[in-house]
């Protein structure tokens, strides 16, 4: 019995030391002390085992001993098996900064580093722009007219966007722009996201485009000429990156620029001859200046000894000879302005290179650095705004739509998708707002940008699918009254552009994060490249300590022993502790995958994707916790927060489980399962009770509904396009009164107090008035209320030949 007790003491002591990553000396001390106790009071065999363990730990863990025999051997082996990082990958790895994503890789996230920078909101100027100019712009959007009738924004809207400098949000005020913060850009795009075409038209020039590249890298002359003209809309920019053979793999672009001499106006000029073919270029059909990425070569050495400069970015005016521009693609669902650009024998001077000749060959670095910010903002913000709009419409419609004498929002089959819509909207808003705040604090979040781009656009697609489902026939019938169908069909665009989502999940999130965010891997690779054995020793054995620490933390916290100390309230503490626990499990699994698969991990995309899913869901959960911690919660918000975190933690654990099922080294997988899931899975899908609460919270006039809708378009005024969210909000304010009167008429009809032929609601209202069941005021209220309800339920119909572009092809199926 004493032997068993001492064994448990030794195990507990070692787990304690490992959890704290205290190093070899405390571990040796634990084993030696318990070993002596075992010799005196218990088993000599246990003592021998502990002394041997102490000796091995000393030989491998004490720097003075290991550096003479162990480190050189490991270093030599590491040089042989370490993956080679290409120059292109190095640029991507060095771009951006590491913040909270790095904390999640450590397995012991320091919440202080997340919470120290509070989201302070917008400036008065920024908030006024969101409340006024943005509302005015979105209220000028007739979705059917824009998407179907004209396939463009109306001229008065283009003029308004230019006048109010929507295209100059990121341009500093000194150059005539708005100089908005990242938080303000996010707020603007969420507000106008009710119309996909407007959001894209505004978002893209403020994301990856010539404006941002000029601000960061342009010469003084380029900035002075272009930035004021871009800010006030005199110039409309586009950026040509992707082409027929270079989509998500933008580094493989085949478009070449050859340095050569040409005679211009009687003078010999050194410039660049370009041949290129680009497609999927947003705003290309109307762009007046084209940002172009191409591969630059100098075969004749006109500029120096460099023959292949690499990817370079230049600015080319629309009227440049040899460039064909103006044709259009037809993006699915929402025909925003997008098209091809072709250049044949286009000659440009060297000063067209963004940043001048010294930036030749720096194009990939420039693009990656811009993407690390832009991808955090444009598409994720559009997704969050679209989600809020879906809350407004789906919640409102399901409350006023009655079937079987009850609102469909009270049916559990409808409540489940409504709850998902509410929770995913809450997650999306938390993620975009607080990541934008990080950007304003100086971070350039490369890995979070991939997380937000992938997961929020996927959530947008899921939310719109759920919203379409609960609307039924209302939104599968296209026409001016359909406020969701066009956006739903256009959601495929967001999951494709700026790096296809499949690639982003399987290659980028973990593939980039494993090296960029890991506390030690980048240091180990740098030590290998520099042949620095001392730096390698520090990094490698620090890495080893991290592995043991994560194993101890993952195991004990899974057993609910020694839960992490987190700075959150009672409502959210358990979720934060679960994030800490899974952070340790994620860190351990990451190291196991990198160790067992080595360079092969690059090709095992499904393994990488599941690790990326774990990291992503932990990051999103952290953003939800930060949002809950910093904002003043309204009544009912606790349930939304808990449903959201339960959903994210369920997805995290599911990704862990599937990773362990598929890790090729089965022995390691079994050990990992015993360490990370010793009691099996514990996070299921959110409980049905929560789903019922969330469904009611967004389908009635509640503080939660108003808080989720605060970022989207909710107003309606004279002369503006009808806003369905505003109409539903008005109906929900009167819903309690209407519901009582619906029930009164239904009960009277069931008792036979109303004529059996009174089948329509309007007929029952009149019959109820005649029978004295309704007062005159009640009858008038229900007439007006039901008229609006019927209008919101009505769908469009068209003449028989409406959809035939060529009317001569129409068949007369019923000739006289």
So which residues are the catalytic ones?
A: 498
Residues whose CB is less than 8 angstroms from the CB of residue 281 and which lie 6 or more positions away in sequence, other chains included: 238, 239, 240, 241, 242, 287, 338, 339, 340, 341
Secondary-structure percent of the chain, ordered helix, strand, coil, rounded to 5:
65, 10, 30
By residue count, the chain amounts to: 816
∠ Cα 718 723 726 (to 5°): 95
Residue 212, token pair as written in the block: 């941002």
Dist CA 764 CA 745 (whole Å): 7
The DSSP code for 546 is H
The answer to whether the Cα torsion of 404, 409, 415, 418 is positive or negative is: positive
Residue 8, token pair as written in the block: 């448990």
Return the axis-axis angle of helices 182-192 and 412-440, rounded to nearest 10°: 150
Residue 48, token pair as written in the block: 């021998």
Distance between first and last Cα of the chain: 102
Q: Strand pairing partners for 240?
A: 292
Alpha helix stretches (DSSP H) within 204-247 = 210-217, 220-231
| Contact call for residues 315 and 210 (beta carbons, < 8 A) | yes
Helix (H, G, I), strand (E, B) or coil at 597: helix
| Contact call for residues 208 and 376 (beta carbons, < 8 A) | no
Dist CA 167 CA 177 (whole Å): 8
| Contact call for residues 284 and 240 (beta carbons, < 8 A) | yes
Closest CA to 137 of 153, 119, 148: 153
Exposed e or buried b for every residue in 567-605, given b needs 16+ CB within 10 A?
ebeeebbebbbbbbbbbbbbbbbbbbbbebbeeebeebb
Dist CA 601 CA 28 (whole Å): 35
Closest CA to 622 of 420, 406, 754, 447: 447
Dist CA 686 CA 647 (whole Å): 6
Q: 696 burial class (0-12, 13-18, 19+ CB within 10 angstroms)?
A: buried
Residue 293, Cα to own-chain centre: how many angstroms? 25
Radius of gyration of the chain (CA): 31
Residue 472, token pair as written in the block: 């039924």
Residue 640, Cα to own-chain centre: how many angstroms? 19
Dist CA 608 CA 586 (whole Å): 12
The DSSP code for 84 is P
Closest CA to 498 of 247, 134, 283, 197: 247
Phi first, then psi: what are they for 814, rounded to 5°?
-130, 65
The DSSP code for 751 is T
């Amino acid at each position: 019995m004493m032997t068993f007790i001492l064994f448990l003491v030794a195990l507990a002591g070692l787990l304690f030391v490992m959890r704290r990553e205290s190093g070899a000396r405390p571990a040796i001390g634990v084993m030696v002390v318990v070993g002596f106790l075992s010799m005196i009071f218990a088993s000599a065999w246990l003592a021998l085992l502990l002394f041997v363990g102490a000796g091995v730990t000393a030989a491998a863990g004490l720097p003075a001993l290991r550096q003479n025999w162990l480190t050189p051997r490991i270093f030599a082996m590491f040089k042989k098996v370490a993956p080679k990082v290409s120059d292109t990958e190095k640029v991507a790895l060095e771009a951006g900064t590491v913040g909270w994503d790095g904390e999640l890789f450590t397995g012991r996230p320091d919440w202080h580093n997340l919470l120290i920078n509070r989201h302070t909101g917008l400036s008065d100027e920024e908030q006024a722009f969101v409340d006024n100019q943005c509302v005015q712009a979105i209220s000028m959007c007739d979705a059917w007219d824009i998407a179907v009738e004209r396939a463009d924004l109306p001229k008065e809207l283009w003029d308004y966007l230019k006048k109010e400098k929507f295209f100059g949000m990121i341009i500093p005020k000194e150059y005539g722009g708005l100089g908005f913060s990242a938080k303000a850009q996010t707020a603007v795009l969420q507000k106008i996201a009710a119309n996909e075409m407007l959001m894209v038209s505004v978002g893209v020039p403020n994301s990856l485009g010539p404006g941002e590249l000029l601000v960061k890298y342009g010469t003084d002359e380029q900035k002075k000429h272009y930035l004021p003209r871009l800010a006030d809309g005199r110039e409309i920019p586009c950026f040509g990156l992707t082409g027929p053979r270079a989509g998500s793999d933008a580094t493989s672009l085949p478009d070449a620029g050859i340095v050569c001499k040409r005679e211009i106006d009687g003078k010999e000029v050194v410039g660049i001859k370009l041949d290129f073919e680009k497609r999927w270029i947003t705003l290309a059909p109307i762009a007046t200046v084209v940002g172009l990425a191409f591969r630059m070569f100098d075969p004749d050495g006109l500029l120096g000894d460099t023959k292949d400069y690499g990817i370079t970015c230049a600015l080319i005016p629309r009227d440049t000879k040899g460039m064909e521009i103006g044709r259009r693609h037809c993006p699915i669902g929402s025909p925003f302005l997008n098209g091809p650009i072709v250049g044949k024998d286009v000659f440009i001077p060297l000063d067209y290179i963004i940043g001048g000749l010294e930036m030749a060959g720096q194009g990939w670095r420039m693009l990656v650095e811009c993407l690390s910010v832009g991808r955090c903002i444009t598409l994720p913000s559009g997704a969050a705004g679209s989600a809020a709009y879906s809350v407004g419409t789906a919640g409102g419609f399901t409350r006023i739509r009655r079937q079987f004498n009850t609102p469909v929002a009270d049916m559990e089959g409808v409540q489940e998708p409504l709850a998902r819509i509410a929770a995913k909207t809450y997650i999306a808003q938390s993620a975009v707002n607080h990541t934008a705040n990080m950007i304003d604090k100086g971070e350039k979040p490369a890995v979070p940008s991939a997380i937000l781009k992938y997961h929020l656009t996927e959530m947008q697609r899921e939310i719109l699918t759920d919203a379409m489902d609960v609307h039924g026939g209302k939104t599968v019938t296209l026409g001016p009254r359909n406020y969701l169908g066009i956006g739903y069909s256009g959601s495929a665009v967001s999951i494709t552009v700026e790096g296809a989502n499949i690639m982003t999940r399987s290659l980028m999130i973990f593939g980039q994060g494993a090296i960029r965010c890991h506390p030690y891997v980048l240091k180990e690779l740098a030590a290998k490249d520099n042949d620095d054995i001392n730096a390698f020793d520090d990094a490698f054995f620090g890495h080893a300590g991290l592995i043991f620490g994560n194993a101890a933390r993952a195991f004990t916290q899974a057993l609910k022993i020694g839960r992490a100390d987190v700075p959150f309230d009672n409502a959210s503490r358990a979720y934060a502790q679960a994030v800490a626990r899974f952070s340790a499990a994620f860190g351990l699994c990451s190291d196991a995958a990198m160790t067992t698969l080595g360079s092969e991990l690059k090709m095992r995309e499904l393994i990488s994707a599941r690790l990326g899913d774990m990291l992503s869901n932990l990051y999103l959960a952290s953003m939800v916790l930060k949002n809950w911690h910093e904002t003043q919660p309204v009544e009912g918000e606790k349930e939304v927060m808990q449903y959201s975190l339960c959903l994210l933690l369920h997805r995290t654990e599911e990704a862990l489980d599937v990773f362990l099922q598929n890790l090729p080294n089965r022995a390691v997988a079994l050990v990992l399962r015993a360490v990370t899931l010793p009691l099996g899975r514990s996070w299921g899908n959110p409980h049905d009770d929560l789903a019922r609460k969330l469904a009611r919270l967004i389908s009635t006039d509640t503080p939660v509904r108003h808080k989720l809708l605060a970022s989207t378009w909710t107003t309606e005024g004279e002369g503006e396009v009808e806003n369905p969210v505003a109409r539903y909000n008005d109906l929900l304010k009167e819903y309690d009164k209407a519901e009582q009167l619906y029930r009164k008429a239904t009960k009277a009809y069931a008792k036979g107090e109303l004529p059996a032929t009174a089948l329509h609601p309007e007929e029952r209202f009149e019959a109820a008035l005649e029978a004295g069941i309704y007062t005159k005021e009640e009858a008038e209220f229900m007439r007006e209320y039901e008229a609006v309800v019927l209008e919101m339920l009505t769908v469009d119909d068209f003449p028989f030949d409406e959809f035939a572009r060529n009317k001569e092809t129409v068949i007369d199926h019923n000739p006289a």
